[in-house]
């Protein structure tokens, strides 16, 4: 006779269910432990795995402390050099500059990438104050530092930020490439740097108005080079409806051969280009104000007597 309250069948089922539950629990815990271990191993391997190295190019890498230099130059410019621009946001400008080329193949950066930077700066040069140059960089900037109402591209905030700097990123990294950057023509048709300067030079020319000036090196056999930035970009983007005269200052280095450069074949080529654009061309050898500046460094030379 069965004892009261004991059900052999149901008791057997209850024990079997308990065993199955324990087995299921053990299996579930094992799976969870294995999944956790795998996740930890994958995470650890991901931390140890280094990102692919940036592509190697033939040019110098990004200038050290690029962001700090750009930010510092921006504050210097708006606070001391051109305080009329003090309402510009230097942090946003530096960020827009950086974002134009970071995480991108430096041979595939476009002018559109620099559009936010151009928009943030938004600077115009007064009519009759624009000065272009070709192979006379040091002298022209000595001159515009004295004649503060005149502007080369490098005297604008956009050009001032980037002058003499190198920069590039890499498509596989969010960091700047400090090891190497592309050389134009050797690595790719247009690098992040060359795209920037082409855009800046074209905009500088398009915005010019009134009488514009260009300083050319008369100590060279060809003061005007059609393949220079001035010859291939800036002169071609002057707007005849805005610019009525181009005045060329052909300067000769003190102590070097002095040529009658305003009648040279290369200057005649420049004259033809400008006249065909319905812009008046004026040429002056050894512009007196620039000669005075040259003589400050060479006061004993007989030409400075």
Which residue would you say has higher pLDDT here, 303 or 210?
210
Answer yes or no: is 298 within a domain: yes
Q: Among 44-58, 137-151, 192-206, which stretch is predicted with the lowest mean pLDDT?
A: 44-58
Residue 120: CB atoms within 10 Å? 18
Q: What span, in angstroms and rounded, lies between the C-alpha atoms of 243 and 127? A: 9
Residue 25, pLDDT > 60, answer no
The counts of H helices and E strands in the chain are: 10, 6
Residue 143, pLDDT > 50, answer yes
225-238, pLDDT tens digit by residue? 999 999 999 999 99
Answer yes or no: is 3 within a domain: no
Mean pLDDT score across all residues of the chain: 88
> Crossing angle for the helix pair 66-76 and 90-99, nearest 10 degrees?
140
Residue 90 known to be catalytic: no
Answer yes or no: is 260 within a domain: yes
CA dihedral sign of residues 149, 152, 153, 155: negative
| 124 Cβ neighbours under 8 A, 6+ residues apart | 207
The count of structural domains within the chain is 1
Selecting among 127, 188, 295, 304, the annotated active-site residue is: 127
Q: What pLDDT is recorded for position 5?
A: 47
Answer yes or no: is 145 within a domain: yes
Average pLDDT over residues 72-77: 98
Answer yes or no: is 18 within a domain: no
Selecting among 74, 107, 181, 209, the annotated active-site residue is: 209
Which residue would you say has higher pLDDT here, 95 or 300?
95
- pLDDT-based confidence at residue 244 (cuts at 50, 70, 90): very high
Q: What pLDDT is recorded for position 35?
A: 59
Give alpha helix (H) positions in the chain. Answer: 8-48, 66-76, 90-99, 115-121, 137-146, 157-162, 192-207, 229, 265-276, 288-297
Q: What pLDDT is recorded for position 257?
A: 73
Which residue would you say has higher pLDDT here, 280 or 54?
280
Residue 49, pLDDT > 60, answer no
Residue 17 known to be catalytic: no
148-187, pLDDT tens digit by residue? 999 999 999 999 999 999 999 999 999 999 999 999 889 9
Residue 260, pLDDT > 80, answer no
Q: What span, in angstroms and rounded, lies between the C-alpha atoms of 166 and 260? A: 37
Average pLDDT over residues 244-253: 96
Answer yes or no: is 21 within a domain: no
176-193, pLDDT tens digit by residue? 999 999 998 899 999 999
Strand order in the sheet with 131-134: 131-134, 210-217, 243-251, 280-285
Residue 30, pLDDT > 70, answer no
- pLDDT-based confidence at residue 31 (cuts at 50, 70, 90): low
Answer yes or no: is 91 within a domain: yes
Range of the domain at 226: 59-304
| 220 Cβ neighbours under 8 A, 6+ residues apart | 135
Answer yes or no: is 234 within a domain: yes
Residue 91, pLDDT > 60, answer yes
Global confidence as pTM: 0.83
CATH classification of the domain holding 295: 1.20.82.10
């Amino acid at each position: 006779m069965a004892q009261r309250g004991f059900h052999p069948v149901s008791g057997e089922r209850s024990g079997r269910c308990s065993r199955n539950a324990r087995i299921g629990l053990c299996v579930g815990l094992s799976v969870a432990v294995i999944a956790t271990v795998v996740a930890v191993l994958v995470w650890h391997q991901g931390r140890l795995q280094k990102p692919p190295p940036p592509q190697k190019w033939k040019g110098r890498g990004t200038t050290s402390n690029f962001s700090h230099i750009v930010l510092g130059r921006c504050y210097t410019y708006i606070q001391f050099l051109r305080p009329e621009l003090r309402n510009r946001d230097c942090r946003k400008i530096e960020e827009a500059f950086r974002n134009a080329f970071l995480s991108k193949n430096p041979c595939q950066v476009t002018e559109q990438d620099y559009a936010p930077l151009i928009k943030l700066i938004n600077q115009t040069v007064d009519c009759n104050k624009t000065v272009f140059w070709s192979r006379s960089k040091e002298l022209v900037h000595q001159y515009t530092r004295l004649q503060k109402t005149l502007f080369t591209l490098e005297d604008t905030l956009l050009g001032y930020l980037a002058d003499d700097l190198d920069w590039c990123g890499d498509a596989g990294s969010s960091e700047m490439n400090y090891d190497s950057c592309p050389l134009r023509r050797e690595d790719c048709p247009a690098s992040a740097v060359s795209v920037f300067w082409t855009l800046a030079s074209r905009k500088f020319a398009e915005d010019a108005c009134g009488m514009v000036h260009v300083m050319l090196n008369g100590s060279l056999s060809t003061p005007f080079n059609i393949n220079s930035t001035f010859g291939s970009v800036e002169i071609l983007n002057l707007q005849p409806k805005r610019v009525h005269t181009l005045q060329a200052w052909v300067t000769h280095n003190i102590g070097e051969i002095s040529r009658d450069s305003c009648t040279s074949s290369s200057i005649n080529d420049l004259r033809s280009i400008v006249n065909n654009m319905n812009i008046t061309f004026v040429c002056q050898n050894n512009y007196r104000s620039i000669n005075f500046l040259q003589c400050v460094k060479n006061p004993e030379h007989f030409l400075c007597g």
